[in-house]
Chain A
Amino acid sequence: MRWFAGLLALMAGAAAQAGEVQVAVAANFTAPMQKIAAEFEKDTGHKAVLAFGATGKFYAQIVNGAPFEVLLAADDETPAKLEVEHQTVPGTRFTYATGKLVLWSAKDGVVDNQGQVLKTGDYAHLAIANPKTAPYGAAAIETLTKLNLLDRVQGKLVQGENIAQAYQFVSTGNAPLGFVALSQVYRDGRFTSGSGWIVPASLHGPIRQDAVILAKGSANPAAKALEGYLKSNKAKEIIRSYGYEL
């Protein structure tokens, strides 16, 4: 029996060093987070288990007892709201990335670098994320309003449920143009395909994306470690390479 107790102690020790953390990640941050999680595991031994989705849905799930320990939201309102409702570890909220909006087409040469195509182009549909629930959708509406183009494009707007779906509409060509997250179409200083116009930050409020440790993760050292890792230079470099600002 002694060997068994020894084995248990060994396993418990290993678990304390290499933990696991359940992370809810905003859809637009999917690609960089996969990369960061791989590096995180390599550097710390902790495993980050990732769930991707819409921030509003995560909110409803967290309030109703979902087992997430860290939230990487697509906005700064949801983490703040969760903090007020005592669903987080106080004082752990921070901005891990500031998103950039881009007008993008899957085809080369469709979108000019001034976004003039919005005014002059002949396009049937303009895809955006649902402005009611997705920060990138709200930023797109804000941009169109500032440009005095909202009335002109109103009949052409098609909404994805989140930014991933807006991207899907454009990448399949069903919508010739769309406002998507720069992180979806950008790597290391250039567009991975198609053509795009990075919307100047002056045309919409900053898309601040906040992270927070949730109440369920308060006693988990892996959650704390992930929070620290997201602030490391290595993680920041990955985040920047996807076109986010910090």
Chain B
Amino acid sequence: MTLDDADLAAVRLTLELATVVTLLLLAVGMPIAWWLARTRSRLRHAVGAVVALPLVLPPTVIGFYLLLVLGPNGPVGKLTEALGIGLLPFSFGGLVLASVCYSLPFVVQPLQNAFEAIGPRPLEVAATLRASPWDTFWSVVVPLARPGFLSGAVLGFAHTVGEFGVVLMIGGNIPDRTRVVSVQIYDHVEALEYAQAHWLAGGMLAFSFIVLLALYTLYPQAMKGRR
């Protein structure tokens, strides 16, 4: 027995979700990480703590509050309905939003470490050469922080692929829309279809190992960035 159509659909959906989420995470995580790395604001500890919350909160807490906040009686739910988007739970968009929240620390923290490692010196040199802050960021900071971007992207992607609890709570297990691999594996196990579960679960294990092995081999410093 190998993977059937439903399994393949789940794999396709998972890769799609992880790709969209990773791109969004880089876009959202970059300014947050830059601010956290540079600011002297007293708010930085609070913001850093909020970003790190998904590391310690169980997915049941995040999923439960997302269900309430995104629901018809929640503030975000009311907003999305007023904007004509409708409600986000049980949709691909809802999963994207949930995954961005859930995987945010996995992208922000490596980026922040990379930005901090650059130190003030290259920025000062760029400033004396009359580079604008915008120019400095793109032509000095981003190239120097490349390991941070890479490990942030890889970890964000892998963590989204491995996400389960939050998706289970707000996804609704809809084929092609919210039934990702981890949920499909869970269903197989629940239905005692252990052979099919093994194909997907074993694949997931191999995928995660290879991704992390590649990251740590290519960029040993990424291991330090993960702290």
Contacts and interface: CB of A to CB of B under 8 A. Distances in A.
Contacts of A165: 168-169
A114 interface: no
Contacts, number: 59
Nearest to A172: B71
Contacts of B68: 172
Interface string A156-171: 0111110001001100
B174 A56 contact: no
A161 B72 contact: no
B81 to A, nearest CB: 11
Contacts of B87: 124, 174
Contacts of B186: 161
Interface residues of B, number: 22
A125 B89 CA distance: 10
Interface string B134-170: 0000000000000000000000000000000000111
Interface string B45-84: 0000000000000000000000110111100000000000
Contact of A127 (B169, B172, B190): B172
A239 to B, nearest CB: 26
A172 B90 contact: no
B90 A173 contact: no
Contacts of B71: 172-174
B190 A57 contact: yes
Interface in A21-65: 54, 56-57, 59-60
Interface string A134-162: 00000000000000000000000111110
A121 to B, nearest CB: 16
A174 B190 contact: no
A194 to B, nearest CB: 14
Contacts of B168: 161, 165
Contact of B173 (A57, A130, A168, A172): A130
Nearest to A125: B90
Most buried by B among A57, A59, A127, A130: A130
B192 A173 contact: no
Nearest to B68: A172
A132 interface: yes
Contacts of A157: 174
Given A132-B190, A169-B67, 16 more contacts: A56-B190, A56-B191, A59-B192, A124-B87, A125-B90, A157-B174, A158-B90, A159-B173, A160-B172, A160-B173, A169-B89, A172-B73, A173-B73, A174-B70, A174-B89, A175-B90
